Each structure stands twice: as structure tokens, then as C-alpha cells.
């Protein structure tokens, strides 16, 4: 899991990650008897305290913490290799690292979109059945802003639309090529995390549109982290889901079909 130390997916561990262990392990024949998780993130400060909590709870042998910046190809490559060497395989990748800052928009594209593409291509070297892998599933964290416009955040919107488009095309490319790797994406609404705090300061040239964003927050409400976690596991364990974009609202979750231009 990339981008795992704070925010939406930190909750996976304290709330319900291992509740889904059996279903996840049942998907592949070469898995051992327990779920093992590598957490990749660039945030060293948060790593230490999370590491202590999780290793106490689940045991050191099931967890690996690796410093990794998705903007750095060599770091991502090394982190996947270390995961392979430690656990013997990679079956699930969650591309969750993301930032929101309209002032540093090139960096936002680099982390939110290029980072997802980079990690996907690198992990396929290990998962791809044509290269000796066991197949697997990739879940990219996009956003509702990957489906509709978040007007105060045009570049964030572009990065997340990019993630949805990449997911759908990559899923089809993988299936047609026989890689044995499913690719899906999660599109949550607003979630109370660090990324969601202090929003006006992150809107850069569009801070004057903050009231519109606030209206959207009121319209959609806040999604609980555990709802995102449940949606993530649906995409992992439901083998019929490939190329899916799963919208997570406060009251429900639903799939958003891709628009076809050939009908």
C-alpha cells in the first residue's frame, strides 16, 4: 500500500483490515495463511508511531514499513523489490498517495497521476502472469473529483480524472494482454483527513471559490474512513470487478460505468 501512514488508509489497520484477510487470501493459490502488508510512504515522522502501534497489534512478521516517494522511480522500484524479497510475492497494490495543492499544480500531477502510473508499471513486473507472477489486483484511489469537476480545484480534478482514465484503459490492456491483473479505482467523496483540512489555503488561484466547495461538502456530507476501507475490499475481493470506478458517498456506494463512444 502506497500512501499509507496517515489519512484514509491508516484507518485500514485500526478498524478492519484483517477482517477481510480470509477473503483476500482465497484469491490466490500461492498465499500463505496470513495477510502480509508492506506500507510505503514518504512520511518518516508518522511511520515511527504507526509502526509501533501496528507491530504491537499484529506482529512484526506481517508488516514491512518502507520509505518511498512515488516521484522517485528508483525508490519505488527498490521498495517493491524489498517487498518481494521479504514476503515472496505481491498480489494487491493500493495506489493511495495523493496531495491537494492548486498552487503547486505540477507537483500535484506528478504525485497524483504520474506516481500512480509509475507504481503500476513497476508492480506489473512482479504481478504479471506473463513474467512469472501470480496475477493480482491494483486499486487506485481517485476521487469523486475523478468523475465530476471540483470547480475550485481544476488541476486536482484533472489528476483524478487521469487516474480514472488510466485505470479503465489499463484494466482493458491487462485483460487483453493476459497479465492476470485486475485494475480498479475508488472514488470517495469528502473524507476528514489532513488533505481535507485547511482547504482555502490549498486552492491557490481559486481560493475565492471556497464557498462553492463548502456547499459541495454540505451537499455530499463526509464519508467515514471505514466506508472507504469496505469499498476498497469490495474491489479487491469481487473478481468480477475489473476497470471499475466505485463511488463512495455518505449514504451509499455505486459503480460509475464508463461512457462508450462507439455505441
Ligand X SMILES: CC/C=C\C[C@H](O)/C=C/C=C\C=C\C=C\C(=O)[C@@H](O)C/C=C\CCC(=O)O
Residue 111 interacts with, from ligand X, ligand NAI, none (CB under 5-8 Å by kind): ligand NAI
- Of residues 180-199, which lie at the interface with ligand NAI (CB under 6 A)? 188, 190-191, 193-196
Handedness of CA 253, 127, 7, 71 (dihedral sign): negative
**Binds ligand X (CB under 6 A): choice among 12, 143, 171, 174:** 143
**Binds ligand NAI (CB under 6 A): choice among 12, 13, 20, 41:** 41
The distance of closest approach from Cβ of residue 202 to ligand X in the complex, given in angstroms and rounded to an integer, is 7
Residue 70 interacts with, from ligand X, ligand NAI, none (CB under 5-8 Å by kind): ligand NAI
Residue 96 contacts ligand X per CB under 6 A = no
Residue 94 contacts ligand X per CB under 6 A = no
The distance of closest approach from Cβ of residue 111 to ligand NAI in the complex, given in angstroms and rounded to an integer, is 5
Is 255 tagged catalytic? no
Torsional class of 221: left (φ above 0), alpha (ψ -120 to 50), beta (otherwise): left
SS3 readout for the chain: CECCCCHHHHHHHHHHHHHHHHHHHCCCCCCCCCCCEEEEECCHHHHHHHHHHHHHHHCHHHEEEEECCCCCHHHHHHHHHHHHHHHCCCCEEEECCCCCCHHHHHHHHHHHHHHHHHHHHHHHHHHCHHHCCCCEEEEEECCHHHCCCCCCCHHHHHHHHHHHHHHHHHHHHHHHHCCCEEEEEEEECEECCHHHCCHHHHCHHHHHHHHHHHHHHHHHCEECHHHHHHHHHHHHHCCCCCCCEEEECCCCEEECCCCCCCC
Q: Which of 121, 156, 179, 255 is catalytic?
A: 156
Complex with ligand X: residue 32 or 149, whichever CB lies closer: 149
The distance of closest approach from Cβ of residue 18 to ligand X in the complex, given in angstroms and rounded to an integer, is 27
**Binds ligand NAI (CB under 6 A): choice among 15, 36, 43, 104:** 43
- Of residues 124-163, which lie at the interface with ligand NAI (CB under 6 A)? 141, 143
Residues that bind ligand X (CB under 6 A): 100, 143-145, 148-151, 153, 189-190, 196, 199, 212-213, 216
Residues that bind ligand NAI (CB under 6 A): 2-3, 5-8, 41-43, 68-71, 96-99, 111, 141, 143, 188, 190-191, 193-196
What are the catalytic residues? 156
Amino acid at each position: 500500500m502506497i500512501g499509507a501512514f496517515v489519512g484514509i488508509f491508516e484507518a485500514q489497520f485500526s478498524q478492519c483490515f484483517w477482517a477481510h484477510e480470509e477473503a483476500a487470501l482465497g484469491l490466490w493459490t500461492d498465499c500463505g495463511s496470513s495477510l502480509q502488508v508492506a506500507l510505503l510512504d514518504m512520511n518518516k515522522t508518522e511511520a515511527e508511531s504507526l509502526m509501533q502501534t501496528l507491530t504491537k497489534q499484529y506482529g512484526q512478521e506481517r508488516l514491512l514499513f518502507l520509505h518511498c516517494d512515488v516521484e522517485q522511480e528508483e525508490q519505488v522500484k527498490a521498495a517493491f523489490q524489498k517487498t518481494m524479497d521479504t514476503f515472496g510475492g505481491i498480489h494487491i497494490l493500493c495506489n493511495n498517495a495523493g496531495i491537494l495543492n492548486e498552487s503547486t499544480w505540477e507537483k500535484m500531477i506528478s504525485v497524483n497521476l504520474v506516481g500512480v502510473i509509475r507504481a503500476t508499471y513497476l508492480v506489473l513486473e512482479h504481478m504479471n502472469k506473463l513474467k512469472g507472477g501470480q496475477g493480482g489486483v491494483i486499486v487506485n484511489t481517485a476521487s469523486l473529483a475523478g468523475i465530476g469537476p471540483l470547480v475550485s480545484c481544476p488541476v486536482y480534478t484533472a489528476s483524478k480524472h487521469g487516474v480514472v482514465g488510466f485505470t479503465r484503459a489499463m484494466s482493458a490492456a491487462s485483460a487483453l494482454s493476459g497479465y492476470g491483473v485486475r485494475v480498479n479505482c475508488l472514488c470517495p467523496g469528502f473524507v476528514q483527513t489532513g488533505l481535507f483540512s485547511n482547504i482555502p489555503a490549498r486552492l491557490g488561484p481559486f481560493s475565492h471559490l471556497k464557498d462553492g466547495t463548502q456547499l459541495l461538502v454540505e451537499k455530499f456530507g463526509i464519508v467515514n474512513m471505514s466506508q472507504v476501507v469496505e469499498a476498497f475490499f469490495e474491489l479487491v475481493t469481487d473478481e468480477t470487478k475489473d476497470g471499475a470506478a466505485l463511488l463512495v458517498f455518505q449514504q451509499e456506494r455505486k459503480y460509475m460505468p464508463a461512457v462508450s463512444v462507439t455505441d
